[in-house]
């Protein structure tokens, strides 16, 4: 086992004109919290993740990034060696050009984008749910591609202990099954209720005994395009945000990770983030972190 397996990341702060480029053995969530409590970075923060990759040897990749931007290293701030006078976009472009051999689970990610229907569904999911506004909280929410769950799934997205969205693989006799967990207020909107009835779908109120209440799981069988269609129906986004954001705020306050953190596909999220940014996103403004 390679003990240098981990993450490289690019951080930025509204109170600093420079970026921080670093690496860690642990989930970036833990490292960012440390950085925001230690000088000299604390006085320049709060720092948030702008880009990241999970790599086979993070020390080597971090070193290559530092070397590539060595002429832009900031030397005027004592007690640090990881601040650079480089735009985030330039650092991100370097990460985009990393050799596939250093990226963990690269074949799985390639498989996601080889299926246009799946990649479009996931891009719509990430836009509708605004989950990318919680990029620093990865590990508390988790995204897994092609997990070996039940009869197989395209993906599973969990917040804390609960699955809040998944789509199963199709079989010879059945289309994919989609599940999305949200606030029960979705049932106040005629469009999703009528659409779900026409699809033979259903609501499963209080699907989890430990849910926060006033919640429902939406289940329906349909194509990947049907999954995208549902996400765009009137009232669906509002209901998702009502439940997901509340659940994420609670996890942020508790400073706790999901039981499924070790299954999180960091690089898949990074790739989806790039796709969403390239195509434009109408997600709400990020919710500020809790001090």
From 65-79, 84-98, 122-136, 276-290, the region with the lowest mean pLDDT: 276-290
The pLDDT score that the predictor gives to residue 188 is 96
Q: Report the mean per-residue pLDDT for the chain.
A: 89
The domain boundary residue, chosen from 102, 137, 168: 102
pLDDT at 291 exceeding the cut of 80? no
The beta-strand segments (E) located in the chain are 6-12, 19-24, 48-55, 83-84, 141-145, 153-159, 162-168, 177-183, 202-205, 215-221
Residues counted in the chain: 291
Domain count for the chain: 2
Decide if pLDDT at 206 tops 80: no
Which pLDDT score is estimated for 213?
73
Pick the more confident residue, 205 or 1.
205
Phi-psi sector, 146: left (phi>0), alpha (psi -120 to 50), beta: left
Same domain for 213 and 147: yes
Question: How confident is the model at residue 210, as a pLDDT?
Answer: 60
| Residue 288 pLDDT greater than 50, yes or no | no
Report the percentage of the chain scoring pLDDT > 90.
Answer: 70
In a domain, 42, yes or no: yes
**Is the residue at 289 inside a domain?**
no
> Would you state the pLDDT for residue 257?
74
Q: Evaluate the omega torsion of the peptide bond into residue 40 and state whether it is cis, within 30 degrees of 0.
A: yes
pLDDT average, residue stretch 5-34: 92
Whether residues 111 and 231 share a domain: the answer is yes
Q: What is the pLDDT of residues 137-184, one digit of tens each?
A: 998 999 999 987 656 999 999 998 889 999 999 998 999 999 999 999
Residues 143 and 241 both lie in one domain: yes
Average pLDDT of the residues in 89-96:
94
Pull the structure tokens for residue 125.
């999911």
Residues 135 and 254 in one domain: yes
Q: Say how far apart CA 84 and CA 214 lie, in whole Å.
A: 47
Domain membership of residue 286 (yes or no) is no
Are 117 and 78 within one domain? no
Domain finish residue from 102, 131, 154: 102
245 pLDDT tier (thresholds 50, 70, 90): very high
- pLDDT at position 83 over 50: yes
pLDDT surpasses 80 at 285: no
Cα(130)–Cα(126) distance, integer angstroms = 6
């Amino acid at each position: 086992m390679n003990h240098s397996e981990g993450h490289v990341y690019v951080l930025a702060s509204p109170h600093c004109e420079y970026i921080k480029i670093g690496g860690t053995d642990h989930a970036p969530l833990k490292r960012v919290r440390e950085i925001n409590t230690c000088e000299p970075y604390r006085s320049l923060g709060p720092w948030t993740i702008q880009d990241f990759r999970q790599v086979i040897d993070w020390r080597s990749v971090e070193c290559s990034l530092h070397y590539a931007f060595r002429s832009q290293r900031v030397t005027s701030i004592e007690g640090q060696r990881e601040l650079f006078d480089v735009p985030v976009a330039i650092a991100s472009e370097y990460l985009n050009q990393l050799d596939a051999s250093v990226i963990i689970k690269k074949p799985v990610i390639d498989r996601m984008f080889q299926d246009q229907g799946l990649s479009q569904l996931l891009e719509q999911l990430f836009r509708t749910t605004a989950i990318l506004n919680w990029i620093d909280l990865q590990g508390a929410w988790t995204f897994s591609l092609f997990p070996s769950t039940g009869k197989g799934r395209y993906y599973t997205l969990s917040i804390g202990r609960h699955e809040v969205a998944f789509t199963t693989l199709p079989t010879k006799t059945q289309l994919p099954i989609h599940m999305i967990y949200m606030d029960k207020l979705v049932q106040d909107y005629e469009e999703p209720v009528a659409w779900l009835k026409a699809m033979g779908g259903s609501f499963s109120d209080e699907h989890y005994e430990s849910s926060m209440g006033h919640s429902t799981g939406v289940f329906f069988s349909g194509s990947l395009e049907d999954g995208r269609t549902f996400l765009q129906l009137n009232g669906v986004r509002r209901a998702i945000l009502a439940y997901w954001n509340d659940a994420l705020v609670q996890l942020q306050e508790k400073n706790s990770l999901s039981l499924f953190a070790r299954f999180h596909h960091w690089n898949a999220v990074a790739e989806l983030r790039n796709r969403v940014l390239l195509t434009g996103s109408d997600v709400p403004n990020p919710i500020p972190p809790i001090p």
